[in-house]
Structures are given as C-alpha cells and as structure tokens.
Structure 1
Amino acid sequence: MAEKSPPKRVRVLHPGVAIRDVWADQAEQELEELCRWVEYYPLVAMDSEFARREDLRSSTTEPRTADAHYTQMCGYVNGGELVQVGFAICDPLFVVPDATSAAWQFNLRFDASARPPNSASVSFLRDKAHLDLQAHASHRAIPVDLFLLMIRSSSLMSNPKITWITFHGSTDFGYLLRCISGAPDLPPNRHTFMEQFRQAFPKAYDIKIFSQHGNCLQQKIPGGLNTLANALGVQRQGEQHQAGSDALVSLRCFAVLMEKLPSFAHSICHFNGVLYGVSDPPSAAACRNSANTLSRADYGVFVVHLGSRNFDAFFGQIASLFPNCCKVAVELATAFEIRLSHFSHARQDVKGTGDVELALAISDSRGRVAYGRVWVFHLQGKDPAGNLSATGLHNEEWGPPINPAQLAQLLTQSSGILDPRVDWASSSAAAFVYLVKALTAADSLPCTRSSFMALCTTFFPSLFELHLGHPSGNLACCALMTLRNLLTGGSSMVKKGHCSAAASGRIKSTRTTLHRFGFSLEVKMLTIMLKLKLMSTCCRAARVFHGNN
C-alpha cells in the first residue's frame, strides 16, 4: 500500500478551503482532530447561530452604553438555544493544515416545531441562513448537552496558547459561557461576565472593534461582517449566516487586516479581551502608545522551552526556517554575568556562565513569527570554577539542559549563520559572545579582540545591537521586542556586521564598528577561505558531538 502523502498546507485565503459539516456520528472524532490541529494552528475564529427566546422585542437602535449593550446581549442569550457553532483555524502566518482541515461547523439539535409558526428566529435560520431545520430536529444532529460536555473537557477552554477571533463576538461567547457553566442565565453584572470571559478565553480579539472605531482603517466601516469582508476583498466560502462560513470569513478578515497593516498588527495588545459593545473601547492615546509596549500584541505567539527531552522534536522545524525567515532576535540570560566593559573580562566570564537560557524569535521580512513560537533553549554550563553547573534542575516538561554543542549543530545545519541575508539582533553583545564560543566549540574565546571580531562578523555578517532597555524580565518577551524593533528599524539600532548591497541596501559600508569592550575596531570582511575553514570547524564539532551520542 502506498504511503499517505502529508497534508498540503495552504493559505487561509485560498479559495479551495472547505468547511466540514459535522453531525452527531462524527462529532467526537472531529472535535478531537480540531483540538490536535489547534496545538500548531492557534488562531481560532468562532461564530454561532442561535434561536433567541420568542418574547424578546427587536430593537433597531444600538445601545449607547456598555451596560445597555450587556442588557441587550443577555436578552439574546438567556432562554435562547444554540443551533450551530463554527470554528476556523490557522497559524500566525495565516496558513492552514490543508484545504479540508481549516473550518468545522457543528450542527446541534434544535426542534423548530416547538416554536410558534411565526417565529422570527426560525424564519431567519430557514430563509436567511438556509439551515436544514428538519436535519437539526432529527437524531442526525448533535445533542447540545453532549457538544457542551465535549467542549468543556477539551483543550479549547482557558487555553492561553489560543488566540480567539470573532466579529461582534459577545453573543457567541455569551452562549458558550452560559451553556458550559450550566447556569440558566448570564450573570446580572457585566463586570462578572467579563471576568468569566477572560478566564475562559484569555486571548481574544473582536474585529468589529477594529472596523467600527477606525483604529486600523482609514475610515470606519459600519455594518456587519459581510460589509467588512466586501470592503477588504475577502471571499466567502459557504452560506452567509452559517456558523462555519462566518467563522472562516472572520479569520480571513483578521488575516487581511494584519497583513495589510503591519504597523497596526504590532499594536493591537490593547484590544485583547475587548468585546464590541459590552467593553469600554481603549482610548486613542493608549492605542498610539501600545506600539512601544510589549504585551499581547504578538497574537498567537507562545513560548516553547527546549531541553534534552524535546530538543530533537523541534530540531528539524527550526533548521528548515532559513533563509526564508531572515530576521532573528536572540536574548541571553546567564546564572553568572558576562561583563562587557573589557574584552578580557568577557573572555574570562564566558567560561563560567552557569546554566544558560537563550531565546530565539525568528520571523520573515514581513514580521510573521515562525510557527507562532519563541524558542527558549535551556543550556548546560560551567560555574566560574570550571565545574558543571548544578543549578539546572530536571524539568518534567523539557528535561535536563542541553549541551551547547547541540545548539551549535542546529545553527550550523540551519544555514542561519554565515549568511548576510539573515539579520541577527540582540539587546546585548553578551548573546553573541556566548554564541561565538558555542559555535567554535572552544574552551574560551580567541586571545585577541581582532580574532574574536573576525569570528563574530563571519558567523553573523548582518548583526545589530538594539539599545532598548527592556522593561520585562521575561526572556521570550525581550526577544519579541527585539524582533519587533529589528523589523521597524528603530533609531537605537547599532549596525555591527557587514551587510552586502545585495542583501538589503540599507547599509552599504564594507567595514564594521563594535562599540563594546571599551574600543572601536574596524574590521575588513574575511576571505572566502576563512569562511570555509570556519564552516569546516563547525561541521567537525557537530560530527564529534553526534558520534558521542
């Protein structure tokens, strides 16, 4: 039997993306598959279709306050029935696993005959959404209690790795929260509801906030999801007002907004957890200032800690990124400080750093973070006396620290070094001091500053130091902020490595100046022979390590 070919990843905007229509016989299997994919495709759009209670009077006037919005929402949710729930997924690069694993539409049991003949909700579901209400009333449909039990016990709820996307999502989240909690009604207090919402959905964006308040567009776009989709040129798949189709359109609108407006994409943190209507929108000043803060702006990005237990599992994934991903931010945390006041101090201190944490944030030139991850390597080190450090305790999730030779092997095989097309940046020269030592597999740095500089500029031809003054002690957050500033080209950026004219054209100098260790040294580019010699050294070190394993 021929092997099954791996799924073909496509863009979420691809016209061939299909929606899975899920009924009772496949419900558990399909939800399990959705949850497995979400681990790697953590942007999840959600929409629901429902039948509200019959005694609710319709209003054509939009409430003017958040409390009035919440009162109206409670009227829609309390006493209403869920009919459909749709999910659409992608990764932070807006790629889906394949064309048939991008959107799911769960069809719930709903008996329209129990409603009055002139029911407005039934008429909408039948005539506007074009639902098969006979199928929804049959045993083919998923029992609501079973669906909610599956959702409640799944990895979707209270998962900080997931970024939820909705359009006017307060009612959708309201139905899920009310049903999952088992309470007959939503909390009477709006603030209590918002607390419950943030616990269940730690990262969530309502794109109606973006379109209605004009925060990301040149002008406001009034109206519903279809109006926004038309304005952005987003193509609809499936029927309007069906949950799977609306979830997919919401995700596509989010993708277009983030890709067309990268400056806004890096400043959406103040919209996290803000639901249209029921939340007070952030002030314009707060939104302007958000570009200079590191919070949850990097939607869908989460941290992967690497140790001996899981290093091999991610080796191939990271090694395959270059040179397509050409922006790398590296940040370092050591048990013992590497002093940078003089080269001799740095040369001595790098021998005894203790255990090390090194964070890598990698993106393409458009700022799309690779796989939505920041990798934090836990590395074995020696104390200043030359003894193996005992500070790195065994961690149940990622195991003991890895040998620095394994990191050197990864960087050598990845083609991320020795390539002027790849920009490397850090907030501290200590990161490159450590990496040069790891890559050369030597006991210490070269004896002279010029030799060190030669190695550094060869391994990292396009190298930057960004004087940022990171406000956060979180190493992964620091790496993300460094990456963001590398992409935007902040004024605090100091160019260190050679950048050929073919690489970017931003800087065409063939000399480099390093403002560290109390000196300023100009270095000519090394010859091709020296590069080949260093590559040979790295490969030889990698083979030695591999043989020891």
Structure 2
Amino acid sequence: MKIRGVWAHNFHQELSQFDHCLHRFPVISFDTEFPGFLRDTPRDALEDQRYEDVKFNVESLKLLQLGFTLSDAHGNIGGTWEFHLSGFNEKSDPHVVASISLLKRNGLDFARLGQFGISVAEFVFGFLRVLRIHRGLHDLTWVCFHGLYDLAYLLKLLTQKPLPDSVVMFAKALGVVFGTIYDVKFMARYCRGFFGGEIGLARVAKLLDVERSGEAHQAGSDSLLTAAVFSKMNATFRSVAGMSQGCLYGISPTIVRYWQPAPVILRRPCFPVAAPHVYSARLIHSPILPTYVHM
C-alpha cells in the first residue's frame, strides 16, 4: 500500500484526493508524531495529574506529522496520507533530544520539514473545509492506538485553542469535534491473549498476523497499521468494538457524539475512577460546527 507524502507543493492536490476518497471510506485511522514528552507521567498517576501532563506537553510542543488512513466498514483501505507540517525549529523550539534522534533514525528529515512542510494555518483551513462537508453527509469514525496524545494534538490543532481545563471537558470537546472514536489499545484489553491491553501496536499486529508497510514512528505507516489492526480485531473479536466505543486508554470519561442527549459524566466510565467530580457546563466552540454547542 502506497503512503502518499504530502508537502506544501502538493497539499491541495492530495487534499482533494483525500476528500474524494472520504466519500467511500469514512473510517479515519490516524497517528501523530511530535517531539517527545517534556513531562513523563508515572504509570500510577491519578487521572487529573495524567491529564495535566497531557495538557502541558501538548501546549508546549509543536506537531510534526499527521498520518491518516481511510477505510470502510469492511476494512477495505482507500488510501494513506502523511501530512508534513512546518514550523518546528530544532534550535529554538522545546523538544526531547532522544525523541528527535529516534524520529531521525526512522527517516524524518527535519531540514526538509522546515523548508517544504505545510504551514499549520493552511492545513487547518483546508482540512476543516473537508471535514465540514463530510460531517454533513455521513458519520465519520476515528480510530487510533493509545490515542490520548494523538487526539489532544489534533484537537488543539483544529480548534487553535488551548486544551480544556479538565479531563471531563476534554472528553466532551472530543465528542463535539470528532464524534465516534475507537482506541485499539483499549479494545485489546477485551481480547483474549492480548495481555489486558498492556501491549504496543507492533505486538498487537504480530499477534493478529498483520504486516506493516513503511517505517515505524512515521505517522503514515502507523496510521495504516492501526487501520489494518482495527479491521482484523473486529473480524476476530466481533463484540469488542461495541464494548469500546468512545473509550480512550488512560482516561475514564466516555466520549459521546455531541448530538446525543446523554452527557458524558452520566455514561458508564471506561474504567473505575477514584472519586466523582462536579464540573460546570460551558460553551465550547468547534470550528467544524456552524454554531456554538452547549456542553
């Protein structure tokens, strides 16, 4: 399967192909690449601390790559696009040296990224235009693997605003902007032989006999592998998707599509939380939607 590299010079042409393909393939598997974690969260951290670290890291760092693979409900692949964003300066922007070194070893060319990458403003304007069209035509399904950070970066990018202040408001914002979401790592906890979900994407792919195309730690290749794993997992474990919709590995609030009447905090949590919290409602604006949506 060819992974289509998208740069400033071919952005509009490839976005047009992406738009055309989305009509037939409305399942969007995605991955992001970013320059590391300034704060490492302990495995036993409470949920509020974990989200504080997510918010700090995402708002402190710049996104480098976005990978999107489109597929249909039967797992047929429509195409994979790898969008390269400009704006990151290794000399002046915050980053983790080890993370940058890893990305370089796996083929990410930072000099080319800076010179030929797509500007964030141009990407956001074009990508949101495509999403507005398709949101009005059919439901979109978003698929990630261990996607807490991927969704946080994408939410920040598309809204061009800081992340919400609490994890509950974050989950609500995801429901407004994206709607239906699956996290394959969360799904793996319900699959026999997958170590309760404590497993990486490469290992899940091996257990399901799914082969990778391209290099690991490249957003296009990771999104394509995520799409293939999601399809194979659904075919092998037929009840898992229904149990996992709206659940992200690492946080407890369920993500509910914005037009459903039940608020997130009244839904079954994705795993037990230590204590309930009370949050006030507020208006969240999504640039994908024509009006403000009361959350």
C-alpha separation in 2, matches of 1:186 and 1:155: 20
1:275 counterpart = 2:248: yes
Query: Closer, same or farther in 2 for the Cα pair 1:258/1:111, shift >3 Å?
Result: same
Structure 1 partner of 2:40: 58
Q: 1:189 to 1:201 in 2, by over 3 A?
A: same
Which consecutive segments of 4 or more residues in structure 1 shift more than 6 A?
none
**Superposition deviation, residue 280 in structure 1:** 4.6
Aligned to 2:202: 226
Computed over aligned residues only, the root mean square deviation of the Cα atoms, in angstroms, reads: 2.5
Deviation at 1:229, TM superposition (A): 1.3
Task: State the match for 1:495 in structure 2.
Answer: none
CA shift digits 1:484-505 (9 cap, x unpaired): xxxxxxxxxxxxxxxxxxxxxx
Alpha-carbon contact 2:32-2:150 (below 8 Å) kept: yes
Q: Deviations over 1:371-403 (max 9, x none)?
A: xxxxxxxxxxxxxxxxxxxxxxxxxxxxxxxxx
Per-residue CA deviations over 1:194-251 (Å, capped at 9, x if unaligned) read 111001111110011012x2x1334425232112112221101111010000000001
Q: 2:191 aligns with which of 216, 237, 242?
A: 216
Find the aligned partners of 2:215 and 2:119 in 1 and give their Cα distance. 23
The answer to whether structure 1 residue 119 and structure 2 residue 120 are counterparts is: no
CA distance in 2, matches of 1:39, 1:26: 21
- SS of 2:40's partner is coil
Aligned to 1:257: 233
Indicate if the aligned counterparts of 2:29 and 2:69 stay in contact, CA closer than 8 A. yes
Q: Residue 17 of structure 2 aligns with which residue? A: 33
The equivalent residue for 1:134 is 111
Secondary structure of 1:217's counterpart equals: coil
The answer for unaligned runs of 5 or more in structure 1 is 1-16, 286-549
Of structures 1 and 2, the one with the larger relative CO (CA 8 A, separation 6+) is 2
**Does structure 2 conserve the Cα–Cα contact (< 8 Å) formed by 1:45 and 1:248?**
yes
Q: Paired residue for 1:175?
A: 153
In the alignment, the residues of structure 2 paired with residue 116 and residue 88 of structure 1 have an alpha-carbon distance, to the nearest angstrom, of: 29
Contact 2:35 2:95 in 1 (8 A): no
CA shift, 1:26, in A, is 0.9
**2-structure distance, mates of 1:49, 1:284:** 26
User: Counterpart in 2 of 1:94?
Assistant: 75
What is the Cα deviation at residue 50 of structure 1?
1.0
Alpha-carbon distance in 2 for matches of 1:43, 1:130: 27
Is 1:161 the equivalent of 2:136?
A: no
Tell me, yes or no, if the aligned pair for 1:163 and 1:204 is still in contact at 8 Å.
Answer: yes
Q: Give the C-alpha shift of residue 89 in structure 1.
A: 1.1
Match of 2:212 in 1: 236
1:74 to 51, 55, 67: 55
Partner of 2:182: 205
Change (3 A) 1:63 1:180: farther
C-alpha separation in 2, matches of 1:225 and 1:235:
11
- Please state how far the C-alpha of 1:115 moved relative to its aligned partner: 4.3
The answer to whether residue 15 in structure 2 is matched with residue 42 in structure 1 is no
Give, in whole Å, the separation in 2 of the partners of 1:65 and 1:117: 25
**Quick one: distance in 1 between partners of 2:28 and 2:60?**
27
Q: Larger Cα Rg: Structure 1 or Structure 2? A: 1
Deviation, structure 1 residue 158:
8.3
* Cα deviations by residue, 1:491-544 (Å, 9 ceiling, x for unpaired): xxxxxxxxxxxxxxxxxxxxxxxxxxxxxxxxxxxxxxxxxxxxxxxxxxxxxx
Residues 1:18 and 1:66: Cα distance change in structure 2 (over 3 Å): same
The alpha-carbon distance between structure 1 residues 284 and 243, as it changes in their structure 2 partners (threshold 3 A), is: closer
Paired residues for 1:342-381 under 5 Å:
none
Q: 1:57 deviation in Å?
A: 3.6
Residues 99-498 of structure 1 mapped to structure 2, 5 A cutoff = 102-109=79-86, 110-115=88-93, 119-127=97-105, 129-138=106-115, 140-155=116-131, 159=135, 161-183=139-161, 185-211=162-188, 213=189, 215-220=190-195, 221-262=197-238, 264=239, 268-280=241-253
Letter in 1 for 2:85: L
Q: Is the 8 A contact 2:66 2:220 kept in 1?
A: yes
Distance in 1 between residues matched to 2:20 and 2:67, nearest whole Å:
16
Instruction: State the shift of 1:64 in Å.
Output: 4.2
Tell me what 2:6 maps to: 22
State the 1:256 CA deviation: 0.8
List alignment gaps of at least 5 residues for structure 2. 255-267, 272-295
Question: For residue 22 of structure 2, what is the amino acid of its counterpart?
Answer: V
Counterpart Cα distance in 1 of 2:63 and 2:5? 16
Q: State whether residues 171 and 253 of structure 2, in contact with CA within 8 Å, keep that contact through their aligned partners in structure 1.
A: no
Q: How many residues align?
A: 254
**Contact 2:248/2:270 (8 A) holds in 1:** no
Asked if 1 retains the 8 angstrom alpha-carbon contact of 2:39 and 2:53, the reply is: no
Mark the CA change 1:194 to 1:39 in structure 2 (over 3 Å): closer, same or farther. same
Q: Is the 8 A contact 1:87 1:244 kept in 2?
A: yes
In structure 2, the partner of 1:403 is: none
- Answer whether contact 2:252 2:270 (CA < 8 A) is retained: no
TM-superposed CA distance for 1:118, in Å, is 7.3
Amino acid at match of 2:73: P
From the superposition, tell whether residues 178 and 284 of structure 1 become closer, same or farther in structure 2 (CA, over 3 Å): closer
Deviations 1:240-296 (A, max 9, x none): 01000000000111111111123x25xx334222111123575799xxxxxxxxxxx
Contact 1:45 1:250 in 2 (8 A): yes
Please report how far the alpha carbon of residue 69 of structure 1 lies from its aligned counterpart in structure 2 after TM superposition. Answer: 2.6
- Partner secondary structure for residue 65 of structure 2: strand
> Which residue number corresponds to residue 303 of structure 1?
none
Cα distance in 2 between the residues matched to 1:225 and 1:195? 26
**Partner letter of residue 50 of structure 1?**
F
The share of aligned pairs that are identical, in percent, is 29
The residue aligned with 1:439 is none
Residue identity matched to 1:216: C
Structure 2 counterpart of 1:430 = none
